[in-house]
Amino acid sequence: MRAAIIGSGNIGTDLMLKCLLSNKLECVAMAGIDPGSDGLARARRRGLAVTADGVEGLVGLEEFAGVDVVFDATSAAAHHRNYAVLQPYGKRVIDLTPAAIGPYVVPPVNLDEHLDAQNLNMVTCGGQATIPIVAAVASATRVRYAEIVASIASKSAGPGTRANIDEFTETTARAIEKIGGAERGKAIIVLNPAEPPLIMRDTVYCLVEECDERAVTDAVETMVARVQEYVPGYRLKQEVQFSAIGEDEPVWTLVPGAKGGVKVSVFLEVEGAAHYLPAYAGNLDIMTSAALRTAERLAR
């Protein structure tokens, strides 16, 4: 499949370098809005057709006619406009913003359900890291409430990420419920300014009324292995933890009608492949890796 990328920032540039390594995709074009961006310069040196006129410039390129899939690595607000421009051309679109026009897609959880969708949404970096874990727990027991905390290095959060904080929390929370299988979800993002920058860390809390600890642990470990197939730096920081919580504990106010149970805690680290940015930017790497995985599945 021939691919084009909209967005020449951190995510778009990292995605371009990953596409160039793929044996199932041919990246032929990149569109941005900053003529002096490093992404467009790198794309030009790699032989891609480039334009600094955004999505309008992309559809005007000669190479666009042969493009099968377009990746949008801009922002949630920009994606609404970009998709409106692209729709008449019938191109498949993989959305790396939290715009959520199309169905939420987390490759190891529900990709095969949406292979016919015209617009596939990659949720958020925190969603790609944590929703597989919520889904794993939900496969073994009923998840009444799930809360995720994504902590990323401040240096890895570019203008697009910072502009989409509200969309990040809202889209991730909805996807925790819709894909992860939790009855109620909540998402928190932390931009950590520590120096040297810290590798992405994610914490997943699931409140369940009862569970088979071995079954939950096996499901989580199996899911981690599935994510590692396309994000090798994705790993558990410690064993899955289980804490009994009495029915009078304040936390159960989040789950009306619950009579106590267990808090399942999973602690993750995501180290990036450093194709473009340093390894601490696992939040970017897991997004671009998930998008690439999705496009390669479409190609197959």
Annotated binding site for NAD(+): 8-11, 156-164, 283
What distance lies between CA 91 and its chain's CA centroid?
Answer: 21
- Given the DSSP bridges, would you call strands 69-72 and 92-95 parallel, antiparallel or unpaired? parallel
Residue type, position 265, single letter: S
E strand or H helix that includes residue 293: helix 282-299
Gap between the Cα atoms of 139 and 134, Å rounded:
9
Kindly state the tokens that stand for 295. Answer: 């496009």
DSSP state, 104? Answer: B
Active-site residue 125, yes or no?
yes
DSSP code of 199? P
Counting runs of H as helices and runs of E as strands, what totals does the chain give?
A: 10, 12
In DSSP terms, 149 is beta-bridged to 188, 203
Tokens for 71?
A: 């990746």
Decide: helix, strand or coil at residue 234: strand
Query: 């009078």: which residue's tokens?
Result: 248
Ranges assigned E (strand) in the chain: 2-6, 26-31, 49-51, 69-72, 92-95, 119-121, 143-153, 185-192, 200-208, 234-236, 241-245, 261-270
Residue 282's contacts (CB-CB under 8 Å, 6 or more residues apart) are 129, 152, 199, 200, 231, 233, 234, 269, 270, 271, 272
**Catalytic pick from 27, 125, 206, 211?**
125
**Active site members:** 125
